[in-house]
Chains A and B, each alone.
Chain A
Amino acid sequence: MIEKALKGSRNYWLWIGLLLLCIAAGFSAFSRQMWEGLTVTGMGRDVSWGVYIAQFTFLVGVAASAVMVVIPYYLHNQKAFGKTVIIGEFMAVAATIMCMLFILADMGRPDRVLNVLLYPSPHAMVFWDVMVLNGYLVINIVSAWAVLGAERKGVPPPAWVKPVIYLSIPWAFSIHTVTAFLYAGLPGRHLWLTAVLAPRFLASAFAAGTSLLILVTLILKKTAGYDAGNEARQKLAVLAAYAGAANFFMIGTEFFTAFYSNVPAHMHGLQYLFFGLEGKSALVPWMWISVIAGIGSLVVLLNPKLRQKTGWLMAACGGMVLSIWIDKGVGLILGGFVPSPLEEIVEYSATFTEMTVTLGIWAVGILVLTMLLKVAVTVKKEQEA
Chain B
Amino acid sequence: MNEDRRSFMKKAGIGLLAGIGSAAGLFPALSLEKTVFPAWDEKPEPGKYRWGMLIDTRKCSGNCKECVAACHFTHNVPDFGNRKDEVKWIWKSSYENVFPTASNQFQSPEVTERPYVALCNHCAEPPCTKACPTEATFRRWDGIVSMDYHRCIGCRFCMAACPYGSRSFNWRDPREGIKLASTDYPTRMQGVVEKCNFCSERLVKGLDPACVKACPEQALVFGDLNDQDSEIRRILESVETMQRKPELGTKPSVFYII
Interface residues of A in 38-76 (CB under 8 A from B): 38-39, 43-46, 48-49
Binds A, one of B107-115, B162-170, B213-221: B162-170
Contact among B83, B173, B248 for A37, CB-based, below 8 A: B173
Contact flag A341-B162 (CB < 8 Å), given A43-B171, A108-B154, A108-B190: yes
Task: Report yes or no: B86 in contact with A45, Cβ–Cβ below 8 A.
Answer: yes
**Interface bits A106-136 vs B (CB < 8 Å: 1, else 0):** 1111101101101101011111001000000
Q: Which of A147-155, A181-189, A198-206, A238-246 contacts B (4 or more CB under 8 A)?
A: A181-189
**Chain B residues closer than 8 Å to A186, beta-carbon distance:** 127, 131, 160-161
**B73-93 vs A, Cβ < 8 Å mask (1 yes, 0 no):** 000000000011111000001
**How far is A92 from B132 in the complex, measured between Cα atoms in Å?**
27
A340 within 8 A of B: yes
Contact B172 A36 (CB under 8 A): yes
Shortest CB distance B33–A (Å): 27
Complex contact A124–B130 (CB within 8 A):
yes
When A124-B131, A126-B131 are in contact, do A188 and B171 touch as well, CB less than 8 Å? no
Q: Which B residues touch A48, using CB under 8 A?
A: 156, 159-160, 169
Contact with A along B110-134 (1 / 0, CB 8 A): 0000000010000000010011111
Q: Are A39 and B164 in contact, CB atoms less than 8 angstroms apart?
A: no
Cross-chain contact of B169 among A38, A110, A336, A337 (Cβ < 8 A): A38
CB distance from B256 to the nearest CB of A (A): 15
Interface of B, secondary structure class, is loop
Contact A44 B83 (CB under 8 A): yes
Chain B residues within an 8 Å CB radius of A337: 160
Is A342 in the interface zone, CB < 8 Å from B?
yes
Bound CA span A107–B171, Å = 11
Contact A188 B245, beta carbon cutoff 8 Å? yes
A121 touches B132 (CB 8 A): yes
Q: Using a CB-CB cutoff of 8 Å, which residues 308-344 of chain A contact chain B?
A: 336-337, 340-344
Q: Which residue of A lies closest to B136 (CB)?
A: A115
Contact B127 A112 (CB under 8 A): no
> Interface with A: B20-28, B97-105, B222-230, which one?
B97-105
CB of B46 within 8 A of chain A? Answer: no
Question: Considering residues B133, B160, B169, B192, which has the most beta carbons from chain A within 10 angstroms of its beta carbon?
Answer: B133
* Residue among B83, B97, B169, B249 making CB contact with A187, cutoff 8 Å: B249
Q: How large is the interface on B (under 10, 10 to 19, 20 to 34, 35 or more residues)?
A: 35 or more
- A183 CB to closest chain B CB, in angstroms? 8
The answer to whether the Cβ of A265 comes within 8 Å of any Cβ in the partner chain is: yes
A337 CB to nearest chain B CB (Å):
8
Q: How many residues of A contact B (CB 8 A)?
A: 44
Report A-chain residues with C-beta under 8 Å of the C-beta of B168: 45
Q: Which of B158-208 contact A (CB under 8 A)?
A: 159-165, 168-173, 190-193
Q: Are A343 and B190 in contact (CB under 8 A)?
A: no
Rounded to whole Å, the gap between the CB of A210 and the closest CB of chain B is 30
Chain A residues 76 to 124 lying within 8 A of chain B, measured CB to CB, are: 103, 106-110, 112-113, 115-116, 118-119, 121, 123-124
Say if the beta carbon of A251 comes within 8 Å of chain B: no
For A45, A103, A123, the residue with the greatest tally of chain B CB atoms inside 10 Å of its CB is A45
Are the CB atoms of A342 and B171 closer together than 8 Å? Answer: no
A-B contact pairs, 22 of them (CB 8 A): A38-B169, A45-B83, A45-B87, A48-B156, A48-B160, A48-B169, A108-B152, A112-B151, A113-B153, A115-B134, A115-B153, A124-B130, A124-B134, A126-B133, A126-B155, A187-B249, A188-B245, A265-B100, A337-B160, A342-B93, A342-B164, A343-B97
A46-B165, A49-B160 known; 10 new pairs, CB 8 Å cut-off, are A37-B173, A45-B84, A45-B85, A48-B159, A108-B193, A109-B152, A121-B133, A186-B160, A187-B163, A187-B249
Chain B residues within 8 Å of A, Cβ to Cβ: 83-87, 93, 96-98, 100-101, 118, 127, 130-136, 151-157, 159-165, 168-173, 190-193, 245, 248-250
